[in-house]
């Protein structure tokens, strides 16, 4: 008997993407899996559409947008109640390879001491190019390095990773029972890396599965990887993540670098040939010029909300900024 795997798909006003994902699951070469769709209070009629196309599909309605973290926690709790042996968190804007679950289960069988596994994520619009295939925290740059990003799939992918991307995060149910669920404060981004590091600290390894392929529409949830919405959550949550996961001296370095990033051209003006006060004055002028830049505004608010301990969903002002960004971007394209 194959292991019982529960797939948790989170939906928020993304019925077309979710339907495409569900359709790809019908091609899975695996015989013992269940699918849960958690709907985060969608207003686009998603739930009715899912029930019409898939009458037997388990749909859990949260009634509000709980974000990636708590929305997936709802699905994880349900899967644990149903005695799932493994759980796969799968983004709704993905398409899966037919052998995905076979490859993930095989990796788990071959590595009994590993608790968390990640799929190889490829760009949906460039299906032979890697978006995510492992990450390594770099204490010098205070960022994660992604050694395979934007490369073609090599013959031998390195399997060690500091975290598995939440777009296709596979784990033994015992891990969630042991360390708990995703930290709901993150809402979006950085929550899966935090959870994976928590798992690693108590002895559960984390590993990439090279032949487990998933194609991903990168940035759909944020209307782009450089959108104000993404910048807000990235800046706020990176500080929360660092508070929990890195040494204190590195944490203070990250705070300083986050603040200086609000002066986008300071590093350009500052050099050995330019007096510090002059370079600082130019940076301040540049900052004032860019005061209303949507991305800088989102970064500022993200840093402020971190210090004032305002977590969970973003303020309405950030979503308004994102709407402006989206309209401007579409006009420019």
H-helix segments, 136-245: 173-179, 191-201, 228-245
pLDDT computed for residue 330 by the predictor:
42
pLDDT computed for residue 226 by the predictor:
79
Per residue in 140-157, pLDDT (tens digit) is 999 999 999 999 998 888
Per residue in 237-249, pLDDT (tens digit) is 999 999 999 999 9
The answer to whether 217 and 168 have CB atoms below 8 angstroms apart is no
What token pair was written down for 155?
């013959």
| Domain range list for the chain | 5-221, 228-332
Of 293, 148, 318, 151, residue with least CA distance to 233: 318
Q: What is the mean pLDDT of each run of 10 residues along the chain (333 residues)?
A: 95 97 98 98 97 97 98 98 98 98 98 97 97 97 96 88 98 98 98 98 96 91 76 97 98 92 60 60 64 86 97 95 66 46
Question: What sign does the CA torsion over 67, 73, 76, 82 have?
Answer: negative
Cβ-in-10-Å burial (0-12, 13-18, 19+) of 255 comes to middle
Question: 10 Å Cβ neighbour count for 291?
Answer: 10
Measured CA distances, 304 to 196, 238, 259, 297, 299 (Å): 26, 13, 10, 11, 9
pLDDT computed for residue 328 by the predictor:
56
State the Rg of the chain over Cα. 21
Residue 216 three-state SS: strand
pTM of structure: 0.92
Residue 143 three-state SS: strand
pLDDT computed for residue 332 by the predictor:
46
Architecture of the domain defined by 5-221: Alpha-Beta Complex (3.90)
Per residue in 170-219, pLDDT (tens digit) is 999 999 999 999 999 999 999 999 999 999 999 999 999 999 999 999 96
| Sequence-distant (≥ 6) Cβ neighbours of residue 281 within 8 angstroms | none
What token pair was written down for 131?
């978006």
pLDDT computed for residue 323 by the predictor:
83
């Amino acid at each position: 008997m194959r292991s019982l795997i529960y797939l948790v798909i989170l939906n928020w006003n993304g019925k077309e993407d979710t339907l495409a994902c569900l359709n790809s699951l019908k091609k899975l070469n695996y015989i013992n899996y269940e699918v849960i769709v958690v709907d985060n209070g969608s207003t686009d009629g998603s739930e009715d559409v899912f029930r019409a196309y898939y009458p037997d599909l388990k749909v859990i309605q949260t009634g509000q947008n709980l974000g990636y973290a708590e929305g997936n926690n709802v699905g994880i709790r349900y899967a644990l109640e149903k005695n799932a042996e493994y759980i796969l968190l799968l983004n709704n804007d993905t398409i899966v390879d037919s052998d995905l679950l076979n490859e993930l289960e095989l990796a788990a069988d071959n590595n009994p001491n590993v608790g968390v596994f990640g799929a190889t994520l490829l760009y949906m619009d460039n299906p032979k190019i890697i978006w995510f295939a492992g990450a390594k925290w770099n204490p010098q740059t205070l960022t994660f390095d992604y050694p395979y990003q934007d490369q073609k799939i090599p013959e031998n992918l390195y399997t060690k990773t500091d975290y598995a991307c939440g777009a296709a995060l596979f784990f033994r149910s015992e891990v969630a029972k042991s360390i708990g669920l995703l930290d709901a404060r993150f809402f979006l981004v950085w929550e899966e890396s935090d959870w994976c590091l928590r798992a690693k600290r108590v002895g559960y390894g984390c590993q990439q599965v090279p032949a487990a392929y998933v194609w991903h529409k990168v940035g759909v949830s944020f209307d782009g990887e450089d959108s104000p919405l993404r910048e807000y959550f990235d800046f706020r949550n990176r500080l929360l993540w660092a508070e929990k996961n890195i040494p204190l001296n590195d944490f203070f370095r990250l705070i300083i670098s986050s603040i200086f990033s609000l002066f986008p051209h300071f590093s350009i003006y500052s050099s050995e040939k330019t007096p510090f006060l002059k370079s600082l004055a130019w940076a301040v002028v540049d900052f004032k010029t860019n005061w209303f830049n949507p991305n800088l505004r989102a970064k500022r608010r993200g840093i402020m909300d971190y210090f004032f301990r305002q977590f969970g969903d973003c303020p309405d002002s950030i979503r308004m900024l994102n709407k402006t960004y989206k309209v401007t971007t579409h006009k420019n394209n």
